[in-house]
Structure 1
């Protein structure tokens, strides 16, 4: 959601819009609706701009400065502005200026062309343009996030439909997740060994952000007579509901896997893991790795669990990989050659 600070409201005449309806025929994707945003392409001036977000929660039409530069628009047409865009969390972004650009929605003859006022802002965004309520209302456009399309009345008087680009929508969504907040400067210090993080905190595959914590305190619930087999539930649950949850968990203790042996194997026809090896690849013995005592004990313990469960088995080779040794051979002509033993 984007809103313009101190924006003056002007009463506009009500526009006559024909009846617009959405039916099951408007679905244009075989994939299920993943709550993707509606991303379309519009023509601004003589250029076709992709990755345009239709945002009904925005009270402004926004063009990002990177898009403005790529369009090679003249800065003389950019009008200065002292407004600010306010996000839903209260962050404020200064507006560099605003510009009027002729914008076409849809493809002729099922299209509509209007002059749209864009606010230019200098910040990162996976989108090139955000069309908010001002332009959507000007076009008389109705957005359906269920059908992932937008409908409007074209210049020819027909109801035009523009569907969202699912591929670009997912690309914009993934690009937005990769945005990293600027980190504050850190001072390197010397710590004692007791203050150092453990191995799990140093794992490069884990998220460096703070792990989520339960919203309330937890209560331990024993599922069997064995004290080691228990789980936790929220302590703030009502007494009657907590007892129902406890009874349900105790009645289905067979669904819990306490050790690898409790997890039955899957049939290869259901799921099978294989290594994608090239048919011409040579078998190469890896170099033996030296592990510390703590890691060696942990690896041995986990390996023994898998052996006991029958998930893996030990294979003993009668011979290892053969090491080739070259021999010097003297030919009849007196010249020397190198050959390998057969």
Structure 2
């Protein structure tokens, strides 16, 4: 015999008695089968209810009509008369399907959004806005940074950096004209291709299309020990790039990429249209001017010719070797002797200088909350640099510069051409010197949530051993307006809103870094290393490392006889001291 399903009556008698009017509008909501997000389904249903109207009893019946499959099976299994109103129905529904609820995005998720190779600015902005609108407490400044980080390099990326937008509304307004220009260019190129029957090759006639290069195969010459590619037409990489010298370009003091991204020079360039083709034989090289693979930015002939044209027109004087004007770029090499003397005189003189007005920053017993008892734990915090959450950041008020270690620089995948040349060395506590690889200006965010503050920090990048990722010195602390309390293990700084931001120390990470420092130092003390090892002492507690036992308290010298003295503790009582001296004098040969 077939089993007849039982009647289910989860609704109360009042809801069952209420009839749906004939002319009542049925809500247009996608049926819920138990696999979708229950919160989104309930939000869509409530929005439709505001349009359709109806009593509470009618809403309950319409809600039931949106369920199917597993969700309807759940509803049919509810106890009789268990649903008394719409709110009860909603709570039971959310509790049953809570596992399907999607985790709401947070601000840091925006850094995962990247503009695809063929994605237009309009499509990327729309996709970015869809995620940003779902974030409950969106940090506008962080959203702007994430949007800039996700953009492809090109004319709009450079123009947006020059605009210095602070809010996403400013970014959207700024992007409208570029979106319109981009769409007009697409229509124009399509019309030109239709008329000529092919693509415009005026700017790229010296390069071969990707299809030609991909047909060839790489070969390795074992005898000569160098990499030969048939793609080069039998020429080596040096021969391929020799045209730069044959063109006799004006010598420059910075890489071409820096000139291309200079905020005052970017508008002078005529950027070619983006292409999918590989423009050149080198598949791994990337040109930021053409925005494609095949050759590097430094070996781009078209870019070199445009730079040469601009130099002849009187532009780019500060980038010409031997003709650069004195400006901010010259001061990067460090203070001159005259500048140091002026500073010394200004320190010794009395003046009526008035400092900037800032919000008062104080520390109280309430700031001890969450702080474990410690013995001089270092100030180690976490920051966000270039969209990466960087831990093991040591705050050192004794450092006159901000340092990023090479491992952290590589780990964040920052292009090495972002490094600007730096002439000088760093001197540690013990007088040891470390040569810097260069410096980079990177946007750094401190704090979380409402306590976020973003500033641009100039990091000196060094290749040295350290258990820390970065070191923040006085320049950043002054720019941030930070006040540090080592007993409370907190860093406080003023926010643009007038409030005070708080950055807490992660004691577990701080102690782990300190232990790593001690372990590395002990290894260097015990093991004799043949090669030169560069290290930077970042913790004052490690400046004088001594493996010998040390007194537990202060001591004083006591004379037992002429020319013979011993040291005893200063905390001994008078009677104990006299008794100890009697023993020492009777055994003078053993103790002195």
1:66 is paired with a residue whose SS is helix
Q: Aligned residue for 2:528?
A: 183
Q: Aligned residue for 1:78?
A: 419
- CA-to-partner distance for each residue in 1:153-185, whole Å, 9 max, x for gaps? 123221011110000010000000011226155
Distance 1:94 1:218, change over 3 A: farther
Q: 1:145 aligns with which of 483, 486, 495?
A: 486
1:79 is paired with a residue whose SS is coil
Q: Aligned residue for 1:162?
A: 503
Q: Return the alpha-carbon distance in structure 1 between the equivalents of residues 529 and 364 of structure 2.
A: 51
Distance 1:164 1:142, change over 3 A: same
TM-score, normalising length from structure 2? 0.32
Q: Aligned residue for 1:65?
A: 406
Q: How does 1:9-88 map to 2 (within 5 A)?
A: 14-88=355-429
Q: Aligned residue for 1:124?
A: 465
Q: Aligned residue for 2:452?
A: 111
Q: How does 1:230-245 map to 2 (within 5 A)?
A: 233-234=566-567
2:410 is paired with a residue whose SS is helix
- CA-to-partner distance for each residue in 1:33-53, whole Å, 9 max, x for gaps? 311011111111111101111
Query: Cα offset for 1:83?
Result: 1.4
- CA-to-partner distance for each residue in 1:47-96, whole Å, 9 max, x for gaps? 11011111111110000000000000001110111211111221111111
2:478 is paired with a residue whose SS is helix
Query: Cα offset for 1:234?
Result: 1.4
2:460 is paired with a residue whose SS is strand
1:67 is paired with a residue whose SS is helix
Q: Aligned residue for 2:575?
A: 247
8 Å CA contact 1:111–1:155 kept in 2: the answer is: no
Higher relative contact order (CA 8 A, sep 6+): 1
Query: Cα offset for 1:218?
Result: 7.8
Q: Aligned residue for 1:197?
A: none
Q: Return the alpha-carbon distance in structure 2 between the equivalents of residues 32 and 58 of structure 1.
A: 26
Distance 1:176 1:5, change over 3 A: farther
Q: Return the alpha-carbon distance in structure 2 between the equivalents of residues 115 and 213 of structure 1.
A: 45
Q: Return the alpha-carbon distance in structure 2 between the equivalents of residues 68 and 60 of structure 1.
A: 16
Q: How does 1:290-301 map to 2 (within 5 A)?
A: none
8 Å CA contact 1:80–1:98 kept in 2: the answer is: yes
Q: Aligned residue for 1:326?
A: none
Q: Return the alpha-carbon distance in structure 2 between the equivalents of residues 184 and 220 of structure 1.
A: 45
Q: Return the alpha-carbon distance in structure 2 between the equivalents of residues 6 and 217 of structure 1.
A: 49
Further displaced range: 109-118 or 132-141: 109-118
Give structure 1 stretches of 5+ with no counterpart.
Answer: 186-208, 222-231, 254-342
Query: Higher Cα Rg: structure 1 or 2?
Result: 2
Q: What's the RMSD between the two structures over aligned residues?
A: 3.5
1:234 is paired with a residue whose SS is strand
Q: Return the alpha-carbon distance in structure 2 between the equivalents of residues 14 and 68 of structure 1.
A: 35
2:539 is equivalent to residue 211 of structure 1: no
TM-score, normalising length from structure 1? 0.54
